[in-house]
Amino acid sequence: MKKIIYAFLISLLLIYCVKNQEKVEKTIVDGVEIIVNHLEPYKIKGERIDFILEKEFVIDTENEELAKAGVDLIRDFDVDSEGNIYCVGKEVIFKFDKKGNFIKTIGRKGQGLGEFLSVLNLRITKA
């Protein structure tokens, strides 16, 4: 008799839990699961759904000071372990501090020491 009561209570608990789960609208197209996004986001119990994006800084390629330094087009970038930002321009690398302030240029166009024919993929590694 106890086993029947326990089985009944467990089944009630399972039914209650399944009923109270959030219903997420999903479809499958070509074997890929697609979740439908509505104007209001899904609310999951115990999870925050709000966040705020704050502008920390901007590297403005139209800024006159940066234009004088040659920053006109950023094609690639990377960040070192100290937060310094390295951006690839036309055959030159620009270094900014972690607050977005311009520090210096690295290299120039050419084939000699410290010169580049072109910079394609910038990746900063430990020395």
pLDDT score for 85: 92
Task: Say what the pTM is.
Answer: 0.55
Taking 70 as the threshold, does the pLDDT of residue 66 lie above it? yes
Q: What is the pLDDT of residues 20-35, one digit of tens each?
A: 455 677 888 898 888 8
Q: Look at residue 96 in the predicted model and tell me its pLDDT.
A: 92
List the structure tokens of 10. Answer: 């467990």
Residue 84 is predicted with a pLDDT of 92
Torsions phi, psi for 76 (to 5 deg): -160, 160
Confidence (pLDDT) at 76: 87
* Long-range contacts of 77-81, Cβ-Cβ distance < 8 Å, separation of 24 or more: 77/122, 78/122, 78/123, 78/124, 79/124, 80/124, 81/126
Write down the pLDDT at residue 120.
76
Confidence check: pLDDT of 88 > 80: yes
Q: What percent of the chain has pLDDT over 90?
A: 8
